[in-house]
Structure 1
Amino acid sequence: YDTFGYVFFQTLILDKSGNIILLTRAPDLRQAQNTSNIKNIRIWIDKDDSNPTEDLKVILGELNLKGKKIGIEYESYGLTGRNAMKLNQSLEGYCKIEDQSELVSQLRVIKSAEEISYVRKAAELADRALDEVWKNAKAGVSEGKILAEMQRIIFECGGDYPANEFIIGSGHNALLCRYQAEKRILSNPDQLTIEWAGTYKHYHSAMFRTIPIGKADPKHYEMYEACHEALINSEKKTFTWQYSWRNF
């Protein structure tokens, strides 16, 4: 569930007793009802000079949180700097606030069995998309064609839009590793860089591939062997994956 949090104010309140209350706009009420398990949904009126942080204080009062310590997830893409300033100003003297940006993120690391099944399905969709890449990654084919076939198979198999665009680049764009608007026709020789995700019910499984078009350059082999050797050498029982990743 998302309400374009980059633009509009919304807050999910969770207290020590387990009460969960969502404060959002009227246009997002049905979305919250249909796509979340939240039962208590409050609406703030989106009009000129409205300040939803005041509506939030009403809810906090109902939960007897005035004067209590409240953690706020400031490291949130849905909380703009302007809204954060309004929130701080509104709660000043009302309660004690502190940054608890990592609290929910750490809890989300541990997935339920149902969530794991969604991730596995997302990984399956990512593999299917890669199959389409192999079919089309050849000289004379447009990057747009490759993207279209990848998205097609994911949607046909029940997947969703990803959280961000599929990244594709070749030629002078091969090393950007960020999305850009140009869609080249692959040449021979060429190098195709592609990063994407299988997505199922908003759960993602991301992949990345670098594919030489035509005959691979000797430097490709040298770089591959160097990376492969570094990875193998770091895979020891006493090493964590974090250690392996950094050394790789």
Structure 2
Amino acid sequence: MIKRDDMTFPAGEYERRLNDLRMRIAERHLDAVVISDPANIMYLTDYQTTGYSFFQALVVPLEKEPFMITRALEESNVIARTWVDLTRPYPDTGDAMQMLVDALREFGLANKRIGYERNSYFFPAYHQDVIHTTLKHGKLLDCFGIVEEGRICKSAVEIELMKKAAFATEAGMAAGIDACRVGATENEVGAAISDAMFRAGGEPPAVMPYVTSGPRTMIGHATWEGRVMQDNEHAFLEVGGCYRRYHTAMMRTVILGEMGDSMYRAQQTMKHALREVHSILQPGMTVSDVDNLVRNIISDNDIGARLITRSGYSIGIAFPPSWDEGYMLSLKQGQSTILREGMT
């Protein structure tokens, strides 16, 4: 491990993360893990790139030095950003899977018990088939979630850094609300949000802001398409600020004109739900407990409102196409996961 002082967090934070991962590797009786998820690689090394459509992996042996497999173009990110000293880059004309297999052989792991993220978006079935048919003397085992076990509870330095993402989120939302006016286009509001986020120190988020108006606010995950905002309708804004790939998010509804009675009652219901969450939420509750709390409050209305989604999700490190960590933890019914200190 290269000792350096120019990474997102102090070197000791990465040493802790690596040591904790190795404890989990030992608990699963593995000799090494192949980590291919970009967020997991960044969590462990500070490596980031937008070029993750090409295969990349961090191999962490139980005892020996970790090494990375990357496209040759991306090796500069390993050198410039991370503590990783060993890389095995492959050219655009090369075979990424063959490079991985060759490196596993080179470092004495080809006949060992190797974990890999079977459910990773970034290790497709075709690549997995190649590894299974090529690495004949080793035992390949699914270790999906082994890094996420460490990511799910943020450390003090992570939470402090997320405040910078939150600052960008708030700046973007304030600018978006101010830009919502009769005659403005959704694009103009999106531009105002983006400009404010980036001027506040934010970096490119996993998802650009959601901005819709009028009837389009009822379309899930739609965003700006140039529509002109009209009098006596509302606009929907959802903003995810980002700093060093850590995200925070905020959602608001803007009324362009007079607030109707049903909208007012919906607003009061949501405020009540948020107050209860802030008052009652604590470590030891299950995610189902929290979801039921929110769902029961929202369902108790006479205006036809209902909650059709989960009531919340984990958030932290993210790359496109999503800013959430919902696959790690979501507030939804029927789940017995216990909330712990440091979850965000």
Shorter chain as normaliser: what TM range? 0.7 to 0.9
Change (3 A) 1:195 1:163: same
Q: Kindly tell me: are residues 111 and 39 of structure 1, through their superposed partners in 2, closer, same or farther at Cα, counting changes over 3 Å?
A: farther
Give 1:178's aligned residue. Answer: 221
| 2:49 is the counterpart of 1:2 | yes
1:77-133: per-residue Cα shift (whole Å, max 9, x none)? 322332233233323x23111211111112112334432222011001111112112
Cα distance in structure 2, aligned partners of 1:131 and 1:84 = 46
Looking at structure 1, the residues matched to 97 and 147 of structure 2 have their Cα atoms a distance apart, in angstroms, of 21
The structure-2 alpha-carbon separation of the partners of 1:51 and 1:237, relative to structure 1 and needing over 3 Å to count, comes to: closer
Give the equivalent residue in structure 1 for 2:81.
35
- Structure 1 position 56 matched with structure 2 position 100: yes
> In the alignment, is residue 127 of structure 1 matched against residue 170 of structure 2?
yes
State how 1:84-103 maps to structure 2 within 5 Å. Answer: 84-91=128-135, 93-103=136-146
- Give the deviation of 1:19 after TM superposition: 2.0
In the other structure, the counterpart of 1:240 is 285
CA contact (8 A) 1:177 1:193 kept: no
* Residue in 2 that maps onto 1:143: 186
Alignment of 1:105-124 (within 5 A): 105-124=148-167
Q: CA deviation at 1:66?
A: 2.7
* 2:119 is the counterpart of 1:75: yes
Q: Of 19, 25, 31, which aligns to 2:65? A: 19
Q: Find the counterpart in structure 2 of residue 214 from structure 1.
A: 257
Shift of 1:70: 1.1
Query: Within 2, Cα distance between the matches of 1:71 and 1:182?
Result: 44
Aligned residues: 244
| TM-score, normalised relative to structure 2 | 0.65
CA contact (8 A) 2:116 2:141 kept: yes
Distance in structure 2 (CA, Å) of the matches to 1:122 and 1:34: 23
Q: Structure 1 232/28 Cα, relative in aligned 2: closer, same or farther at 3 Å?
A: closer
Assess if the C-alpha contact under 8 Å between 1:170 and 1:193 holds in 2. yes
CA distance in 2, matches of 1:228, 1:151: 27
> In structure 1, how many angstroms separate the alpha carbons of the residues matched to 2:127 and 2:64?
26
Q: Scaled by the length of structure 1, what TM-score is found?
A: 0.87
Provide, for residues 174-213 of structure 1, a one-character-per-residue CA deviation record: whole Å limited to 9, x for no partner: 0223134512111111121111111112211111112222
Please give the per-residue CA displacement for 1:200-240, whole angstroms capped at 9, x wherever unaligned.
12211111112222112211122233344455567547873
CA separation of 1:125 and 1:3: change in aligned 2, threshold 3 A: closer
Q: Shift of the alpha carbon at 1:76?
A: 2.2
Aligned-residue identity in percent: 24
Tell whether 2:247 aligns with 1:204. yes
Secondary structure of 1:204's counterpart equals strand
Cα 1:230–1:160 change in 2 (3 A) is closer
Residues 1:194 and 1:89: Cα distance change in structure 2 (over 3 Å)? farther
Please state how far the C-alpha of 1:160 moved relative to its aligned partner: 0.7
Distance 1:59 1:36 in 2: 19
Is the contact made by 2:187 and 2:226 (CA closer than 8 Å) also made in structure 1?
Answer: yes
Aligned partners of 1:179, 1:4: CA distance in 2, in Å? 25
**Map of 1:166 onto structure 2:** 209
CA separation of 1:112/1:226 partners in 2, compared to 1, >3 Å: closer, same or farther?
A: closer
Equivalent pair of 1:23/1:56 in contact (CA under 8 Å): yes
Call closer, same or farther: CA 1:232–1:114 in 2, change over 3 Å.
Answer: closer
| Structure 1: runs of 5 or more not aligned | none
RMSD after superposition? 2.3
**3-state SS of paired residue (1:174):** helix
Alpha-carbon contact 2:232-2:257 (below 8 Å) kept: yes
